[in-house]
Structure 1
Amino acid sequence: MNNLNNCRFCDILSGVYTYREIDQPIISNKSYVAIASIGAFVEGWTLIVPKDHKFSMKNFYNDIEFNDIFIKVSSRLFEKYGRIIAFEHGANCENSITSCGTNHAHIHLVPFKTSLLPDLLKSGLFWDKIKASEIPDKIGHNEYLFYTDLDKDINWINTVGYLHILDKPKSQFFRRLIASKLNCLDKFDYKQFPYIDTALLTRNRFIGVK
């Protein structure tokens, strides 16, 4: 496991919890952990984080261990909340605007009743429909955005989504979009609005605490 100083996720993996019980992993395996997301204005918002410190998830999407934790997390979220979307802001360097201060790879799984695809197609950005496993071959060294509507019975290896290759860094793209649809765009920034109570509720619901 490659841990770096000044990385919140590496701290979590070392047992240092800035947000106390919120930072405690909900599910883990040999290579990944799942945690409740701070800044979540939607209950159930969960992150899957690799134990190895990398800037994006692109090289993890073919990993059997990732598929294992994805199935466990997504099935629990489907059971608790219903429909789920997933997305990544794929950075490629330290302190990239795309990663917005989180220099450690992670993917977001969010309970959301409505697909964001129509909004993506109207965003003015080009989106390529591909398998998640094809991302490394498509992007080279570029930063990217990836989005998918999750199917209850599919595993990650077969997941098809929509990829945009960034020509310049873009901060919190999907967070802004979700916040806009929920009429809370003024509170999209997780640094200013951590939504601690929602994150704690997510964790407790996930582990079965009433």
Structure 2
Amino acid sequence: MGRYRAMNRSDMEASSSKFAWLTAPGLHARPAHDVVVASNNHFVAVPSLGSLVPGWILLIPRRPMSTLSLMDTEERKALAVLRTELAARLSAYGHTVHAFEHGGASGSLVSCGVDQAHLHLVPLSFDLLHAARRHDLGWRTSVGIRDLTEAETGGKEYLFVERLGVSLIGFPETPTSQWFRRLIAQECGGREWDYKKNPNFEQLEATVAKLTAPRSAISI
């Protein structure tokens, strides 16, 4: 335990290079906290910094892209396969797995300082869709993340959330960093939502241990 604390603040504050170890392999070192717990030819899964609940996972495409609405056909299939595998493993937490994306343009606050698309998978004891609907972002029913395209988003920045086959998409008028993290933090009693201020390595380590036992973490 505690092996991730050598990461300095400049590492956490890097934006466009945060997942460069994946999108430009061989040119950037992989941070110690980005432990790959599942992968396929198009995506990898790592635990999230700043996890507010156990089992918080990010699914990241290997190809550079700003939002998942830009996936090609093979990537959409690969995302669905890996997501199904992880959902089965995350069922060990005993809560409904929610998926969400901060669909921001490169450099935007919406994308939370990370210019590479990624899907959050989070087991939650409450209904994140219900909580999201309490905020007026023009929410409407959406296709699932596998079928989300620019035709659905209109090329605009978006917030997407999905649970048990029900999907919502909203379009924030004011760009806000880590919107769903803030909402989850509020529902969890007001915890620190900013992963840069509270990377919560203990939670990350526990997620790695649970999802990789009794097997070893997967190499890429």
TM-score of the pair, normalised by structure 2: 0.81
For residues 33 and 57 of structure 1, the distance between their equivalents in structure 2, rounded to whole angstroms, comes to 14
Instruction: Tell me by how many angstroms 1:79 deviates.
Output: 3.1
- Give the superposed CA RMSD: 2.1
Q: Cα–Cα, structure 1 residues 61 and 81, in superposed 2: closer, same or farther, change >3 Å?
A: farther
Say if 2:111 is the partner of 1:99: yes
CA distance in 2, matches of 1:6, 1:67: 25
Residues 56 and 91 of structure 1 are in contact (CA less than 8 Å); yes or no, is this contact kept in structure 2? yes
Q: Answer whether contact 1:84 1:113 (CA < 8 A) is retained.
A: no
CA contact (8 A) 1:12 1:24 kept: no
Indicate which of 36, 39, 43 corresponds to 2:47.
36
Name 2:189's counterpart in structure 1.
183
> Which residue of structure 2 aligns with residue 208 of structure 1?
213
Q: Does 1:112 align with 2:121?
A: no
Output aligned runs, 1:126-205, within 5 Å: 126-132=138-144, 133-149=147-163, 151=164, 159-185=165-191, 187-205=192-210
Give the whole-Å Cα distance in 1 for the aligned partners of 2:122 and 2:148.
22
SS at the partner of 1:206? helix
Partner of 1:49: 60
| SS, match of residue 121 in structure 2 | strand
Distance 1:24 1:116 in 2: 26
Asked if structure 2 preserves the Cα contact closer than 8 Å seen for 1:38 and 1:195, the reply is yes
Comparing 197-206 and 132-141, the one that deviates more:
132-141
Give CA-to-partner distance per residue, 1:111-150, whole Å, 9 cap, x none. 101102222222122111121214421212210000111x
Q: Is the contact between residue 64 and residue 116 of structure 2 (CA under 8 Å) also seen in structure 1?
A: yes
- 2:111 match: secondary structure: coil
Maintained 8 Å contact 2:22/2:62 = no
CA distance in 1, matches of 2:205, 2:173: 36
Q: Give the superposition deviation at 1:12.
A: 4.5
In the alignment of these two chains, the number of paired residues is: 194
Q: 2:18 aligns with which of 8, 31, 34?
A: 8
Distance in 1 of aligned mates of 2:72 and 2:119: 10
Distance 1:145 1:6, change over 3 A: closer
The counterpart of 2:82, out of the listed 69, 75, 79, is 69
Between the aligned partners of 1:103 and 1:141, the Cα distance in structure 2 is 16
Task: State how far apart, in whole Å, the 2-side matches of 1:8 and 1:134 are.
Answer: 24
Task: Tell whether the 8 Å contact from 2:67 to 2:117 is kept in structure 1 after alignment.
Answer: yes
Cα distance in 1, alignment partners of residues 111 and 64 from structure 2: 13
* TM-score scaled by length of structure 1: 0.85
Q: CA deviation at 1:188?
A: 0.5
List runs of 5+ in structure 2 lacking aligned partners. 1-14, 216-220
Tell whether the 8 Å contact from 1:61 to 1:67 is kept in structure 2 after alignment: no
Deviation of 1:24 after TM superposition, in Å, equals 2.3
